Amino acid sequence: MLFSPHPWRKTSFSKTRGLRKEFKGFVAVSGVDLKVRRGRIHALIGPNGAGKTTCFNLLTHFLSPTRGQIFYNGREITGSSPAAIARLGLARSFQIFGGVSPPHGLENVRIALQRKRGRSFDFWRSTGVCAI
Which of 42-46, 69-73, 106-110 shows the highest mean pLDDT? 69-73
State the pLDDT at residue 118.
46
pLDDT for position 102: 67
Task: Tell me the pLDDT of the chain averaged across its residues.
Answer: 77
State the pLDDT at residue 90.
81
- By the 10 Å C-beta count (0-12 exposed, 13-18 middle, 19+ buried), 126 is classed as exposed
Which domains does the chain show, CATH number per domain? 2-112 (3.40.50.300)
Q: Could you tell me which residue, 16 or 103, shows the higher pLDDT?
A: 16
